């Protein structure tokens, strides 16, 4: 009986430790990396969290309607290593973003480059850090 309990606990431990790895997506599987889109809009919210920081942007479409975008950025640790602070963009900031849209057509995106109204350009390469420090 004791051996069965040890085996059951071990199997459960392995299963729980593997779940976060299998739950994480690869960029190529989730986003259309063959098509870069440019949007211009206003930051509505930011989230500094793992596994990805998020920036939410409302962008005006050609027909006058507004589309709300959720953009994944690298993790806070990677952003910090690139000298970006938690407030590198704030609610109300105007931004232009080059991105890869989700393959399912939703407004979820992988941000590649973000440019602020004052001309700051932030590059978010697929693999961070882009160069060893």
Cα distance between residue 36 and residue 113, in whole Å: 10
Residue 103 has pLDDT above 80, yes or no: yes
Q: Give the pLDDT of residue 108.
A: 96
DSSP code of residue 128: S
Structure-token match 């098509």, residue found: 35
> pLDDT tens across 50-83, in order?
988 999 999 999 999 999 999 999 999 999 988 8
Nearest to 89 by CA among 37, 30, 41, 24: 41
CA distances from 126 to 53, 91, 132 (A): 14, 25, 14
| Domains of the chain with bracketed CATH | 26-123 (2.40.50.140)
Average pLDDT of every residue of the chain: 83
Cα distance between residue 55 and residue 44, in whole Å: 8
Q: What is the largest CA-CA distance in the chain?
A: 69
> pLDDT tens across 23-49, in order?
455 788 899 999 999 999 999 999 999
Over residues 86-113, mean pLDDT: 96
Q: Give the pLDDT of residue 28.
A: 82
- Please, which residues bridge with residue 68 across strands? 58
**pTM for this prediction:** 0.75
């Amino acid at each position: 009986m004791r051996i069965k309990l040890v085996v059951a606990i071990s199997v459960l431990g392995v299963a729980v430790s593997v779940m976060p790895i299998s739950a994480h997506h690869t960029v190529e599987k989730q986003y259309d990396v063959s098509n870069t889109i440019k949007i211009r809009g206003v930051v509505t919210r930011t989230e500094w969290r793992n596994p990805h920081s998020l920036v939410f942007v409302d962008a005006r479409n050609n027909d006058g309607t507004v589309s709300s975008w959720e953009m994944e950025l690298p993790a806070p640790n990677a952003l910090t290593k690139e000298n970006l602070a938690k407030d590198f963009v704030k609610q109300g900031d105007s931004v232009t973003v080059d991105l890869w849209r989700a393959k399912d057509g939703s407004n979820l995106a992988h941000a590649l480059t973000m440019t602020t109204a004052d001309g700051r350009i932030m590059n978010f390469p697929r693999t961070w850090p882009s160069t060893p420090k």
